[in-house]
Copies of this chain bind each other. A is one copy, B any other.
Amino acid sequence: MIDFSKLKFNNKEPIYQQIVDFVKREIIKKNAVDGDELPSRRELAFILDINPNTVQKAYKQMEDEGFIKTGNNVRSVIQINDEIYAKIENELTVSLVQDFIQSAKESALSYERVITLLSRMWDEDKV
């Protein structure tokens, strides 16, 4: 069971999007596996202190992206195969790095500079 109490919202992205991303990361971390049950819409809304429709929007998107399945009057369930898993992992790693590289290049950052900054900043706890 995913522990949604660990989910803290920022105000940069839509709430429903942060929920989707959180579940994806839990999947990648193996904190959520195939068959795991998600809280009901109303239940999660209560836990996160948000509107049930916001949760519904998140669940709907996860359903559309294909990694949860919702039966009739049954709580949604994580449903992933190798393909979906690979797609999510790619999104959270390769695409993340790709976007970063693009941004860095737009700011004319050199590869060496990036590596230097990364090695220096990775273990700083202020991040």
The residue on B at minimum CB distance from A116 is: B97
Partner of A107, one of B96, B105, B106: B96
Name the segment of A32-40, A52-60, A72-80, A117-125 touching the other chain: A117-125
Q: How many copies of this chain sit in the oligomeric assembly?
A: 2
Contact A118 B121 (CB under 8 A): no
Chain A: interface residue total (CB-CB under 8 A): 28
A100 contacts which chain B residues (CB < 8 A)? Answer: 96, 100
With a CB–CB cut-off of 8 A, which chain B residues contact A70? none
Contact of A98 among B98, B103, B127 (CB under 8 A): B127
By beta carbon, the residue of chain B nearest A111 is: B122
Which residue, A25, A29, A100, has most C-beta atoms of chain B within 10 A?
A: A100
A109 at the interface (CB under 8 A from B): yes
